[in-house]
Structures are given as structure tokens and as C-alpha cells.
Structure 1
Amino acid sequence: MKAKVKPIRLTSVVAAFMAMWLVILSLGSGAAAAAGKEDWVKNSLGMELSSAILIDADSGQVIYEVNADTPRPPASMTKLMTEYIVLEEITNKRLTWDQVVTVSEEAASTPADGSQIYLAQGDQHTVKDLYIAMAVGSANDATIALASQISGSEQGFVAKMNETAKELGLTTAHFTSATGLLDTTVISARDMAKLAQTILKKHPDFLDYSKIQEYKFRERDTATMKNYNWMLETNKSNTYLRAYAYEGVDGMKTGYISAAGYTFTGTVKRGDTRYISVVMNTKSKEARFFETAKMYDYAFNNFEKKSVLPAKSVVETLESVKIKKGVEKTVPAVTESDITFTVKKGAEPKIELKESNILKEEELVAPITAGQKLGTVTYEYTDGEGNKVDRTVNLIASEDVEKGGWLRLMFRAIGQFFVGLFNDIVNLF
């Protein structure tokens, strides 16, 4: 007796296939959705991206921003934190540029789905060579080799990254890898710019590495590493990249994973003005540079730096500060540095003294030397659109004040005693 076989309907096969495909997709999806144009935010410069910011590198003053506080995957811009920590380790003499690093198994087994320099376990390279491979070629294996050297493992280093982020006040930053390959690492454009600003202020030599166009890692290598930052000014002599080269650009870091889109943290300097930019989720390698150029053009065409108060200026109502045990009872005070804002060209800055903070009397005891900090003063600038920016500078002594002799101080104390006693008696009536 033959068993009857029920014919399989085509619709059932299609339905089963679609169900299986949806399961596969759900299993393969990452922690963050892939970036795309649906996340782009409208802005006055017509940039196609999800978030961006441009700040003055010296003051941190925001020149332009778009959705700058939303945390997003930064991709390989993550390496800026790794690069910063390495520089800190060198500054604190826990690491040296010529120190030889033996490549760990973890570094050698870095997945091949990203930039790398093809390190093998046991290879030995200097910190400097690995740092250049990370800064120029965005090499993930070199990055992990340095992370392992500092903290024993990548995850140990990740803990250090998050501690450092907290110390720097990067409130949106959450690191899960040293490289940026994981889409669970997130940070806002504003915090990324703040990190870049910290690097440039504390370690200006960083630019010596970020502006290298190409680098031969090993003598036997047949090709050199090429810098992914096509905006470098030095690329104006490169036939293939001159369309992206921008006058004054000398850093900092590009990035890409599907969840992040194409990202770029850049910096540009012309004259005494340096800007830091961040763009996140642009549509292509080329677009991240073109969108960045829109912000640079906007800033250089419309803004200028203007000093509103010169250094060594006397502050109204704070011409002098009281001190203790000096030949004089007060010391003349002036601002330590000038106060400069980035303002719209042709605009007359409106500023006012917002607040002053003078050190406690116990901290202002003679002898006082010229240049000694007496406190701080904060000025507020309001632009034509009502936006306010604060700038704080030190208030310092403009001349020396010697410590008074014991006899002078004794008579001064006696005088103060009787003045106080007289006032107390007056207050009784």
C-alpha cells in the first residue's frame, strides 16, 4: 500500500523561507541599528549627517552644532581615547616611545574585518611604531597591542578608558573596546570634541603623528600605511586626494562601522585660530570630509577672534585685594591673560563681569609675589542671537608685597582691636 504524499504548496515554502530569514536577521543584528539617512538631522548648512559640532580649540566655544548631545557609535574615533591614554602613560613615565612591546595573543588574533598591520604573536615593535600604526593606519591589532601592554588585556584597558572618560567629564561616553569595532561603544559629538580638545591642550605633539601622510611599518613591507584623513593640507600635492585637502588641517581621526556610518574628528588651524570638528553618520568616506569642510568654511568666512579685555587689565571694583601680614594691607590686582571670544565678523562684542571669586584670606598671606594668583573673574559674552558664553581668567598680583615686621604687625593688630572695640560700644547705643 502506497502512502499518499501531500503536495507542498509554493506559498508554504515561501512563508517558511521568509520566517527563517527573519530569524537569521534577528540573530545577526547588533546592539545598535545600522546607521542610515533616516537618522539625518536638518541643519542650516545642508549637511547630511546625524550629529556634528565645531568648537574653538582654545576656549571650547561652540561655533556650530547639530544634535551634538546624542550618544552614537564613534567607530574608530574611539582610538582617540586610546591615543590619549598612551600619551598620558608616556608623560607619567610608565611608558616610553622606544619601549619594545611583545605582541600578545589577543592582539595577534584581532578579527581581519578592519584595518590592521598584521601582527603575529611574539612580534616585537616599539611603542612609537605601534602608536603611528594606530594613529595613521587605524590598525586595530596595534591598538590592542598597546592596550594589552598598559592594562594586561583589552578589557582591562576598556575599564581604564571609562575611568578616564569620567575624570574628563565625558558624561555620554561608554567604551566597550579599545578600537571602536563594537557598536556598543557610544559617545556624543560634543564629548568627542571635548576629548579632542583635551588631547591638543595636554599633548600638542599628538599632531606630529596625526598629520603623517604615510608610514612604512616594517622594512620588509612592500607598501606603506596611508593616512585615512584625506583632508590633510599636505594632500594638496596628491593627485588623487587634492580634492579633499583643506588648508590648515593636520589631524585627527576617521572611523567607520555599519552602525556608525562614516565619522570624522578633525582639526584645522589658520593664523591664531584652531577649530575642532566632529561629524557622525555621514553617507560615505568622501562625504565626511565634504560635510566637515562646510563647517570650516562657515567658521572662517563668518567669524573672527576678538580680544575684549587685554592681559594685565584692572578689573572694576577689584583694583586691589586684601592680604594678611603684609607691609601693605592690600595688593594691586590685574587679569593674568586676555579675554578673547570668537565673534561674528564686524560685530561688537557685548561683555559684562559675571562673577568674581577671591581666595580666602588665610591663603593670601604676605609675602605676595607679582603674578601670584589672587582669585578668578568670569566675563560673559552675549552674541547677536542671544547666546551666552563665559570666560574665566585668573586675577593676579601686579606687584610684590613684603611681609610686615613684627612691630608693624603688632601695632596694626592693636589698632584693629581698638577699632573693633569702639564699633562694639557704638553698637550698644
Structure 2
Amino acid sequence: MKLEAKAAILIEASTGQVLYEYNADEALPPASMSKMMTEYLVMEAIKSGKLSWDEMVTTSKYASEVIGSGDLLAEGEQASVRSLFEAMSIYSANDASVALAERVAGTEENFAKMMNDKAREMGLSPQAHFINATGLSRADLKQYAPKELQGETLLTARDAALLAYYIIKDHKEVLEFTKIPQKKFREKDASPMVNWNWMLEGNKDNLYLKSYAYPGLDGLKTGSTKEAGYCFTGTAERNGMRLISVVMNTPSEPKRFRETAKVLNYGFDNFELKQVVSANAEIDSLKTVNIKKGVLTSVPVVTEKPISIVAKKGAAAEEFKIAAAPVGEESLVAPIKKGQVLGTAKVTYNGTEQTVNLIAAQDVEKGSWFRLFFRAIKDFFVDLFNGS
């Protein structure tokens, strides 16, 4: 696949499997794609109860003066967390992003430190670095540039995809915001905030954008500056499979969407999410696990949940290798409770692995000393005769 982009990647959203990558580990300026981390931390604060959607936030002087997209808020103006989040996720509003960051962490620089801490927690690359809530460069921030945090905001394409993976995994409700094509910030406003994401499926009836509208696409974040070029992290779902794509440093605004369509088409045309093992299923190589000191000497085990793997369309069943093993003997002692983890099963396909717990399908009570005594005698004589 030939792309007009400096870096790109495509992953499946439920497993994180990489389906395509190009220069995915070079750290580049992400521009407003870095707001995905701002969105994540705000939604985390809401989920934990530290913030509520209806809380009113007062705009600081800095938030009202920050350059770039937005220009919605005046100093001292109040807006709800929900309204600010809509402005950030629909319109990529820098003023709303700063206002939310200051509310969560006191200062934007403290918020950026939280962003970096979360990046480490998520396992983003060592190159991943944030200096603010918006993705603006140090030069753009002028007197508001951070004093303690050095350098510039940087992400690899793999970092951006992983960040999108965690947002969708932990805070999928973000898509209810990012899929909105346009909305007024205030009811009295003359014109609405128009989503910078031209590919939204909701644009299919838009006279000017319908040629870009992509079936199933409902997010996630655009970004552009002189240094970053035109970037886009997109996500779309079709036939039960959700993909996440990233293109960085494309040469124009239309091009970032055309290149994204190429990447997503490659994924949907060539791959499918295949359920290899269902929940509560037996694994042929380990249908039961031997246990000690129980009224029974073994217990049937089944999968705790299903295993699905993204595979090439038409992949044969024998391409999926399934192996199973019990846990250590010290854990295989009665009493056993139904649902207790007694082993693991691993499915391997084309270098990709998925693992699921094997759990007890029934309770097994501890055997009485009398039962265990006579079982020991029986086992002794069985071993004696087998050895003769």
C-alpha cells in the first residue's frame, strides 16, 4: 500500500492486533491528536467522581487567549463540563481543552504531567511526551509555555493507536461525542461547531462532505499544525469488527482522509474477527484437571470467555493452534469452587497469541479422611501391581 504520509498504522480495537504499519515507531508531532489523552483523563475523572458532566467551569485568562481552533470562551465565562467536552471532541477547541485541564489538575502543566504518567501506565513508547493539553507547540504557547516540562509533544503512530485503543476500551462513550457532525456550543450561537472529521458516517447526506463519509466511522481525532502536517486517528466498525487507523504528516487536509480510507479499506477487505473458542467450551487437549483431596479425583474445565482473533478472510481452521495447561499442583487441591481458575488455554495464529482462563465447571468438595485413606490404599496397590 502506497501512502502519502510519514507514518501510519492499523490495529483491531478489541485485541490491539496490528494489521498494517508503516514507519509506526518514529516520534512525530501529533498536533491535536494529543487531545485523545486529554479526553481520556477527563473521562477518567468523571468516572471516578472527581468531576461531573453538569459541573460549571470558569474560563481562565489563559484559556480564553489560547490560539488555534476554538475561540469560543471569554475570560470568566462559565460552561458545563459536558459543553466543554463537546467543544473539545467535536471542534477540537483549544480553549475548552485548557479549561478542562485546569479544572482537573489546577494548571495545564500539572495536567500535562498527568498525561505523561498515564502514557507510561498505558505502555506508550519512551518517546511519547506531552507538554500541554492541546498539542500546540512551545512556540505557539509563547508566555504560557510550560516551565518544568521540556521539549515538545511527540507521539509515534503506534502510540496514537494505543491511546485510541485505551479510550475505546475504557471510555467508549467518547464515541457518542466524536460522531457528532456539528452542534452549537450555545443555543443562541448563529452557527454550529463543525466537526473537523470529514469522514464521519453522519456526513453521508452533507452536500460538501458526503464523498468523504465512511460507513461505520464514528471517531476519533484530527490534528494539524505546520510542524505536524495533517494527522488523523480514525475508527470505524463494520460487521462486528472495529478498526483503529492512524496517519501522520500527510500533505493536506483532504489527503489525511483519503489516506485513512485506504488504510481502513485494506483492513475491512482482508481481515475478519473470528471467534476461535466460545465461552464455557471444552478444550480437547484438557477436558479435565486432576485434583487432590476431593470427593472426585478430577474436575471438568471450560473456557471463562471466548477467544476471538483477527485473521485473514478465509483462514483455515488448522491455522489456529490451541494449547492448554493446568495451573500449578499447589492450586489443584479440594475444595474447588465452580468458576475457579484451574488452567489456561492459548490460541496462536500467524504469530499472534490470545489466552483465556480455564475454570472449574462444577464444585468439588473436600473428601473425608476416611475416603482419602482408602483411596490412598487403592492407589498404593494399583501402583504396586502396575510396577510389577
- Confirm or deny a common fold (TM above 0.5): yes
- Tell me the CA shift for residue 403 of structure 1: 2.8
Equivalence map 1:19-418=2 (5 Å): 45-110=1-66, 112=67, 114-171=68-125, 172-182=127-137, 184-323=152-291, 326-349=294-317, 350-353=319-322, 356=325, 358=327, 361-362=330-331, 366-369=335-338, 371-382=339-350, 388-398=351-361, 400-404=362-366, 408-411=367-370, 414=373
- What is the distance in 2 between the residues matched to 1:372 and 1:117? 56
The amino acid of 1:403's aligned partner reads E
Q: Give TM-score, length-normalised by structure 1.
A: 0.80
1:231–1:289 contact (8 Å) kept in structure 2 = yes
Q: Give TM-score, length-normalised by structure 2.
A: 0.88
- What is the distance in 2 between the residues matched to 1:156 and 1:357? 47
- What is the distance in 2 between the residues matched to 1:394 and 1:208? 33
2:344–2:355 contact (8 Å) kept in structure 1 = yes
The amino acid of 1:233's aligned partner reads E
- Tell me the CA shift for residue 356 of structure 1: 4.1
Q: Which residue of 2 aligns with 1:41?
A: none
1:75–1:256 contact (8 Å) kept in structure 2 = yes
- What is the distance in 2 between the residues matched to 1:417 and 1:364? 15
Q: Please give the per-residue CA displacement for 1:207-234, whole angstroms capped at 9, x wherever unaligned.
A: 1000011111123322110000000011
- What is the distance in 2 between the residues matched to 1:84 and 1:232? 21
1:326–1:401 contact (8 Å) kept in structure 2 = no
2:285–2:323 contact (8 Å) kept in structure 1 = no
Residues 155, 322 of structure 1: alpha-carbon distance in 2 compared, 3 angstrom cutoff: farther
Q: Please give the per-residue CA displacement for 1:365-412, whole angstroms capped at 9, x wherever unaligned.
A: 53512x343343222102xxxxx11111221222x21433xxx33235
- What is the distance in 1 between the residues matched to 2:363 and 2:21? 48
Q: Please give the per-residue CA displacement for 1:320-350, whole angstroms capped at 9, x wherever unaligned.
A: 2345664334321112233322222233151
The amino acid of 2:172's aligned partner reads P
The amino acid of 2:227's aligned partner reads A
Residues 158, 360 of structure 1: alpha-carbon distance in 2 compared, 3 angstrom cutoff: farther
Give me the identity figure in percent.
46
- Tell me the CA shift for residue 307 of structure 1: 2.7
Q: Which moved more, 1:101-110 or 1:345-354?
A: 345-354
- Tell me the CA shift for residue 352 of structure 1: 1.7
2:282–2:303 contact (8 Å) kept in structure 1 = yes
Gaps of 5+ in 1: 1-44, 383-387
Q: CA RMSD in A?
A: 2.5
The amino acid of 2:76's aligned partner reads G
- What is the distance in 2 between the residues matched to 1:379 and 1:61? 14
SS of 1:190's equivalent in the other structure is: helix
Q: Please give the per-residue CA displacement for 1:38-89, whole angstroms capped at 9, x wherever unaligned.
A: xxxxxxx111111111111111111111111111111100000010111111
SS of 2:211's equivalent in the other structure is: coil
- What is the distance in 1 between the residues matched to 2:2 and 2:309? 26
SS of 2:347's equivalent in the other structure is: strand
**How many pairs does the alignment contain?**
370
SS of 2:368's equivalent in the other structure is: helix
